[in-house]
Structure 1
Amino acid sequence: MAKSDDQQDIPVWAYEKIELKNPDPLWMDKGNQEKEELFHLLSRFGVKQVEHIGSTAIPHLPAKPIIDLMASVSSFEEVDQIAERLYLHHWHHVPPELDKQPWRRFFVKVKNDKRTAHLHLMLDGEERWEKQLNFRDKLRENPHLVEEYANIKYKLAQEFQNDREKYTEAKAEFIGKVLRE
């Protein structure tokens, strides 16, 4: 099927299928490497903390093999300079009008046309920061939650294999339940 004119400039990685992989202990090491590299790249912009979040930050949890990270800044004023700096290291800025998440600026690290990492750049004090950490930490502490989340993820990955947004939205109920506990 030929791409329409509107789709000519859309990168291959933007529409990757959702493929969950068995837990890989190396994800923690990769997360730490990415954290260190991002801290080094972004500290000049006032970033004081980078965190490995998401499923690859939780031992024994199947995941898309994409390292999710978050970092905070005092404002988004320098996001263009941040994007230029990160681009030199294979990070691609997803413009807010495409990301549709006004609370963050989103970057995707790509290697061989595949996503390898995501960066959620947030403003200092963003409420999602603590929620991300709380969710990660609650799963790290509770193997039963990990098992339950794994089952949900497998089911949703099958159901929404070609729709990342719907896959993410469908996980929200479980995430909310964990955060309320």
Structure 2
Amino acid sequence: MENKHGKSEWPAWATETVEIAEPDARWLKKGSEEKERLTGLLSPLVVLQVEHIGSTSIPDLPAKPIIDLMGKVHSFDAIEDILSLLEPENWHYVPPHLDNRPWRRFFVKVKNNKRVAHLHLIREGDQRWTNQIQFRDRLIEDGELAKEYGELKVKLSQQYADDREKYTDAKGAFVARVLS
């Protein structure tokens, strides 16, 4: 998105490059803390459950140093109420027309103009919820599979450093193989 002077209107965090960091044992603690904070904040509304997912939830796995969390909701009807609770905590809402994933609602937590966490709200009953949990748990259980995934992530981060969407899409075949 550009303004009339050709300058980007996107915040810096929205256009960050894909960078994979060495595994960090602190990610599990940060994920647990963020999960507890979100559960306490959002469960009185409509969020039924919060899970730490993604590569930072898997011990010894290289990852983008961004804590991924997933929240289960009955519907997306309370998004405005959720946003009003998350905004003071430096969460930014990425609306579906920008996220290009109409099946979820997506929030990015920002600190020092960098992403530090993602929150993916998924409707109860959506198979994506189950798939995310199964993928995480399978990699936790199988160190060789996790190592293979880590190597793939490093390779793809170099290949698609400036294109987060292509980076994510390129992992699809591996994810599908793990889930099958």
TM-score scaled to structure 2, two decimals?
A: 0.96
Aligned partner of 2:41: which letter?
Answer: L
Q: Is the 8 A contact 1:68 1:119 kept in 2?
A: yes
User: Structure 1 residues 91-100 or 79-88, which shifts more?
Assistant: 79-88
* Superposition pairs of residues 129-168 of structure 1, within 5 angstroms: 129-168=129-168
CA distance in 2, matches of 1:29, 1:176: 28
Q: What residue is the counterpart of 1:176 in the other structure?
A: 176
Q: What residue is the counterpart of 1:51 in the other structure?
A: 51
Q: What residue is the counterpart of 2:90 in the other structure?
A: 90
Q: What residue is the counterpart of 1:100 in the other structure?
A: 100
CA distance in 2, matches of 1:123, 1:146: 28
Q: What residue is the counterpart of 1:120 in the other structure?
A: 120
Q: What's the offset of the Cα at 1:8?
A: 4.3
Percent identity, please.
53
Aligned partner of 1:128: which letter?
Answer: R
For residues 91-145 of structure 1, the C-alpha deviation after alignment (integer angstroms, 9 at most, x for no partner) is 0000100001011000000000000000000111111000000000000000110
Q: 1:93 to 1:7 in 2, by over 3 A?
A: farther
SS in 2 for 1:44: coil
For residues 67-105 of structure 1, the C-alpha deviation after alignment (integer angstroms, 9 at most, x for no partner) is 000001111111011112101100000010000101100
Q: Which runs of 4+ in 1 moved over 2 A?
A: 3-9
User: Structure 1 residues 72-81 or 165-174, which shifts more?
Assistant: 72-81
Q: What residue is the counterpart of 2:75 in the other structure?
A: 75
Q: What's the offset of the Cα at 1:10?
A: 1.2
Aligned partner of 1:160: which letter?
Answer: Y
Q: What's the offset of the Cα at 1:155?
A: 0.7
Aligned partner of 1:69: which letter?
Answer: L
Q: What's the offset of the Cα at 1:7?
A: 5.5
Q: How many residues align?
A: 178
Q: Is the 8 A contact 1:52 1:69 kept in 2?
A: yes
CA distance in 1, matches of 2:109, 2:179: 28
Q: Is the 8 A contact 1:45 1:73 kept in 2?
A: no
Q: What's the offset of the Cα at 1:40?
A: 1.0
Structure 1: stretches of 5+ with no match in the other structure = none
TM-score scaled to structure 1, two decimals?
A: 0.95
CA distance in 2, matches of 1:133, 1:12: 30
* Superposition pairs of residues 32-51 of structure 1, within 5 angstroms: 32-51=32-51
For residues 43-71 of structure 1, the C-alpha deviation after alignment (integer angstroms, 9 at most, x for no partner) is 12122210000000000100000000000
Q: 1:70 to 1:7 in 2, by over 3 A?
A: farther
